[in-house]
Structure 1
């Protein structure tokens, strides 16, 4: 349960300063998601969820996503903060990744602004960008946080971090 918090530098945020319960933020950052040569999402109005110990999760309006490449699956999960999640398989041409994105069809009231917005696991996409910066995926297969140069950890999700 011991970890060394990284002190943020100028212009950086520590995930250990993020709140619990999580907070939702409207942004004007340019977010793009690419899979199998197709830009699936391109927006300048993402929503960002900040939660203690996690890199941010970016949620994108379906209006800014090429939804023809997303196919609902039977998978579901429960978030104590946002509610019941549904999942999408992403399929472009012959390339497919099951349960590569998630959404909340009926989020709890505080997260109502992300109703039906889609979040993607960056580890399963070819590339995800925030303001032109290539995102590093959060370790592990459970969380889908986006790490950029302005975010410092350590981050929950990798080996040995579940007890934090």
Structure 2
């Protein structure tokens, strides 16, 4: 999913090879880089951080984290706390709570006043727990779940492959005009036009998930083979512009259905991320 997770070059499932020794870096790599994006953090209607000089930290087995220069953070909205933590790779972290009116996000901000010599240059930078804040923006576009990793790619391609989706021998969808979504670290996802899906088998679901690279997904359950299969179909009513081609197309979890592509039965992948 990133440089340091899963199949990424420094992830624990990496299958690629280098022409130099990487044993030590793969143990626990840390990589801090400049981001060209303006990033804003909002809490209780106030912009708590607004930076055009934000840094992005990549760390093994962690999602990327934005670190803000202290001068780009509303220090008047922060209250230092006694809470501390220790990271063997970065050092001792100090914490601050965010307080706006009657709302408080306790220990939502951290920084490393004296990072370890072996750590990246984190001094003078602070980070926010993503879920503790109300909204995040990259430029003027709201971003969900975590920062968008610049090394994570999503492509939506029109295809003429013949795709058939079945459960217990019952065909749920069949098309020769899918949109195939290729996403770093995930199996190909086949998005099927709604006209090519057996709509009578779909049951409304209240489930909703968010993806930083695609937007907000809605779900359907499926009644097939005499049973109800919950939340195995998703779609994006308003995907972000980068993947606009999948709007309202339906996608079945490869992991939970029988999927054939050009007559060939597909192996069920281990991951269940949409």
The TM-score with structure 1 as length reference comes to 0.73
Of residues 143, 149, 153, the one that matches 2:273 is 143
Contact 2:167–2:225 (8 Å) recurs in 1: no
Of residues 108, 114, 118, the one that matches 2:240 is 108
Of residues 164, 168, 178, the one that matches 1:32 is 164
Q: Say which SS state the counterpart of residue 136 (structure 1) adopts.
A: coil
Offset at 1:93?
A: 5.3
Larger radius of gyration: 2
Structure 1: which 4+ aligned runs deviate by more than 2 Å?
A: 1-4
In the alignment, what sits opposite 1:3?
Answer: 13
In the alignment, what sits opposite 2:188?
Answer: 56
Q: Say which SS state the counterpart of residue 243 (structure 2) adopts.
A: helix
Offset at 1:108?
A: 1.2
Offset at 1:96?
A: 1.4
RMSD after superposition = 1.8
Offset at 1:122?
A: 2.1
CA deviations 1:24-57 (Å, max 9, x no partner) are 1111000000123321111001111111122111
CA deviations 1:79-118 (Å, max 9, x no partner) are 1111100111010252211001110011112222211111
Q: Which has the higher strand share?
A: 2
Pair 1:115–1:4, CA change in 2 (3 A) = closer
Unaligned runs of 5+ in 2: 1-10, 18-150
In the alignment, what sits opposite 2:264?
Answer: 133
In the alignment, what sits opposite 2:174?
Answer: 42
Contact 1:36–1:92 (8 Å) recurs in 2: yes
In the alignment, what sits opposite 1:156?
Answer: none
In the alignment, what sits opposite 1:97?
Answer: 229
Q: Say which SS state the counterpart of residue 113 (structure 1) adopts.
A: helix
Contact 1:36–1:95 (8 Å) recurs in 2: no
Pair 1:83–1:93, CA change in 2 (3 A) = same
With CA pairs under 8 Å and 6+ residues apart, which has the higher RCO, 1 or 2?
Answer: 1
**Count of residues in Structure 1 that have an aligned counterpart in Structure 2:** 131
Contact 2:219–2:232 (8 Å) recurs in 1: yes
Unaligned runs of 5+ in 1: 8-18, 145-164
CA distance in 2, matches of 1:2, 1:77: 26
Pair 1:2–1:104, CA change in 2 (3 A) = same
